[in-house]
């Protein structure tokens, strides 16, 4: 994998239950009237033109069990925005284990790419896993494992066989620069104090722990680093590629927010503020009942998805407020163009996040290394 985004999980193509059918079945059982149909969210692909309700709905159904007065029970169903707010509140109130040595984040990622071999083109999915160990005053350890590359569909497998069943290394078609060969593990150990590193932004574990817990204050703090980033972009990126500053800035805030959630020991309060900050970005919307790449259902913050624009998804556990995963869904192909489904789909799912006293097991000879690390 020449794209070392050390971040699996194959996206199940299972559509969640149709809310309308569930409501109709409930009404039949309870003897009530057939409710108004509810829009159906088909899987995780939300149409860019869909309108997301942010106001709760109220449904009235008869009581079960022979209530003598035949009174109705009024049940309020929370809107997606209310579900997100409640999840963020629960997360912000969560106490943290203190005194632990490392913050440990375990994630898996998958990336779908189209490759051509011997005149045959097919879609493959490259998969990998990452365990990140960081902490104040600790060495940063990344343990990345290659989980293999495989054709996505039966048709892709047939094309792969016609091409002679070549070795698959994802987007690295010659398999010479693969950062994560299947069955291998790469260890990267550094003495760097910085946990979050971008082109012009470097934050240590202590600095991340001190980030604001209020979404407005968090946005203001992060945007204090933006002028240097914007200056670097205008200098290093061709003018025809750089978009308007506001668009570049908001995309940058989204990416920083993802990193804070998945790759840093940010406090529960800061994580909750990240949710609210991302939900407040221009074009963002909140939708309930979205599946992550592991098939887990949660409330999601979505952004993008317009014509020619990929949609970014952040899926959150409704009960705990923990992030379940992130995904980028490609835009629908332009009229007249033949782009097969799944091209360019990237996803990352969370397996475990939290503090631990466990030490990362690093083979002898892999500590420290500031380059690609060592492969075992």
353 and 102 in contact (C-beta within 8 Å)?
no
Q: Are residues 69 and 200 in the same domain?
A: no
Q: Residues 123, 202: one domain?
A: yes
CA 71 to chain centre: 45
Give the predicted TM-score (pTM) of the model: 0.74
Backbone angles phi, psi at 292, to 5 degrees: -85, -175
Query: In this structure, are strands 346-356 and 140-151 parallel, antiparallel, or unpaired?
Result: unpaired
Asked if residue 7 belongs to a domain, the reply is: no
Q: Are 46 and 302 in contact (CB under 8 A)?
A: yes
Q: Is 233 inside any structural domain?
A: yes
Domain tally, the chain: 2
Predicted local confidence at residue 35, as pLDDT = 35
Of 79, 100, 123, which residue constitutes the final position of a domain? Answer: 79
Residues 107 and 225 in one domain: yes
Half-sphere exposure in the Cβ direction for 20 (13 Å, CA):
7
30: containing domain:
19-79
Domain end position, chosen among 36, 64, 79: 79
Task: State the Cα–Cα distance between residues 124 and 95, nearest whole angstrom.
Answer: 42
For residues 130 and 105, membership in a common domain is answered with yes
> Does residue 117 share a domain with residue 35?
no
**160/368 Cα distance (integer angstroms):** 40
What is the reported pLDDT for 115? 83
Q: What is the pLDDT along the chain (376 residues), one digit of tens a residue?
A: 333 344 333 233 333 444 443 344 334 333 333 333 333 222 222 223 233 333 333 333 332 333 333 333 333 457 999 999 999 999 999 998 767 889 999 999 988 888 888 888 888 888 889 999 988 778 889 998 888 888 988 999 999 999 998 888 765 656 666 666 677 788 888 887 778 888 889 999 889 999 999 999 999 999 999 999 988 888 877 665 667 888 889 999 999 999 999 999 999 999 999 999 999 999 999 999 999 988 999 999 999 887 777 889 999 999 999 999 999 987 765 554 444 444 557 899 999 999 998 888 888 878 665 455 687 8
Q: Does one domain contain both 153 and 72? A: no
What's the rounded Cα separation, in Å, for the pair 270 and 281? 17
Domain presence at residue 249:
yes
Q: How far is 136 from 35, CA to CA, in rounded Å?
A: 55
Last residue of a domain, one of 40, 59, 79: 79
- In this prediction, residue 31 carries a pLDDT of 38
Query: Does a structural domain hold residue 109?
Result: yes
Q: Please, how many CA atoms are within 13 Å of residue 247, restricted to the half-sphere of its CB?
A: 6
208 & 244 share domain: yes
Residue matched to tokens 């945007």:
223
Same domain membership, residue 166 and residue 45: no
271: left (phi over 0), alpha (psi -120 to 50) or beta: alpha
pLDDT at 309: 78
Are residue 54 and residue 95 in the same domain, yes or no? no
- 13 within a domain of the structure (yes/no): no
- Classify residue 131: in a domain, yes or no: yes
Are 61 and 169 found together in one domain?
Answer: no
302 falls within a domain: yes
On whether both 270 and 347 belong to a single domain, the answer is yes
For residues 198 and 157, state if they share a domain.
yes
The whole-angstrom separation of Cα 23 and Cα 36 is: 9
């Amino acid at each position: 994998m020449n794209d070392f985004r050390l971040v699996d999980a194959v996206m199940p193509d299972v559509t969640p239950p149709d809310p309308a059918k569930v409501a109709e079945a409930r009404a039949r059982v309870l003897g009530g009237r057939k409710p108004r149909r509810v829009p159906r969210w088909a899987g995780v692909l939300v149409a860019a033109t869909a309108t997301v309700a942010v106001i709760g709905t109220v449904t009235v159904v008869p009581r079960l069990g022979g209530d003598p007065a035949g009174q109705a029970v009024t049940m309020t169903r929370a809107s997606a925005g209310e579900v997100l707010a409640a999840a963020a509140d629960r997360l912000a109130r969560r106490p943290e284990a203190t005194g632990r040595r490392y913050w440990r984040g375990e994630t898996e990622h998958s990336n779908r790419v189209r490759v051509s071999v011997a005149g045959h083109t097919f879609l493959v999915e490259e998969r990998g896993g990452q365990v990140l160990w960081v902490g104040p005053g600790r060495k940063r350890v990344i343990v990345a494992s290659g989980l293999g590359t495989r054709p996505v569909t039966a048709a892709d497998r047939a094309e792969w066989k016609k091409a002679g069943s070549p070795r698959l290394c994802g987007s690295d078609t010659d398999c010479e620069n693969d950062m994560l060969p299947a069955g291998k593990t790469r260890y990267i150990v550094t003495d760097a104090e910085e946990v979050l590193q971008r082109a012009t932004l470097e934050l240590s574990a202590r600095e991340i722990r001190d980030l604001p817990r209020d979404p407005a204050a968090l946005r203001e703090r992060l945007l204090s680093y933006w002028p240097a980033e914007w200056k670097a972009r205008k200098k290093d990126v061709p003018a025809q590629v750089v978009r308007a500053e506001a668009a570049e800035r908001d995309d940058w805030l989204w990416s920083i927010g993802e990193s804070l959630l998945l790759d840093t020991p940010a406090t529960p309060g800061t994580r909750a503020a990240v949710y609210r900050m991302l939900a407040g970005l221009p074009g963002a919307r909140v939708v309930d009942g979205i599946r992550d790449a592991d098939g887990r259902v949660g409330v999601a913050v979505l952004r993008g998805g317009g014509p020619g624009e990929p949609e970014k998804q952040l899926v959150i556990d409704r009960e705990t407020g923990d992030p379940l995963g992130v995904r980028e869904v490609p835009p629908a192909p332009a009229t007249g163009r033949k782009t097969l489904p799944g091209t360019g789909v990237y996803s990352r799912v969370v397996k475990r996040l939290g503090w631990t006293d466990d030490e990362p097991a690093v083979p002898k000879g892999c500590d420290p290394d500031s380059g690609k690390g060592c492969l075992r």
